[in-house]
């Protein structure tokens, strides 16, 4: 086996890869949360989305909420949906 192949199979290398993937997922989550805040402010001027957005951990849930935003009739409905997603398990 080549030295590079041995390195790729090592647990140390796999841990570094997973750490990089996790950092990438977190950056993606932060970007989606920022997009959601911008879209919500556009849809509901004056709305404040603070820590409740941080409570939604799943990338798919944040993405879905961005897509659902136009269907929510009020800012209160958005806050309620955020609470529901925060209580759900991340996907």
Return the domain boundaries, the chain: 3-87
The confidence score (pLDDT) of residue 51 equals 86
**What's the half-sphere exposure (Cβ side, CA atoms, 13 Å) at 54?**
3
| pLDDT on residue 72 | 97
Query: Which residues of the chain fall below pLDDT 50?
Result: none
**47 neighbors 40 (Cβ within 8 angstroms):** yes
User: For residue 5, what pLDDT is reported?
Assistant: 84
């Amino acid at each position: 086996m080549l030295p590079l192949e041995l390195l790729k199979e090592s647990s140390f290398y796999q841990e570094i890869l997973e750490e990089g993937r996790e950092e990438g997922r977190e950056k993606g989550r932060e970007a989606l949360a920022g997009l959601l805040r911008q879209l919500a402010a556009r849809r509901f001027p004056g709305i404040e989305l603070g820590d409740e957005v941080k409570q939604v951990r799943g990338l798919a849930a944040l993405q879905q909420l961005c897509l659902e935003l136009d269907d929510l009739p009020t800012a209160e409905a958005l806050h309620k949906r955020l609470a529901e997603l925060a209580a759900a398990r991340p996907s």
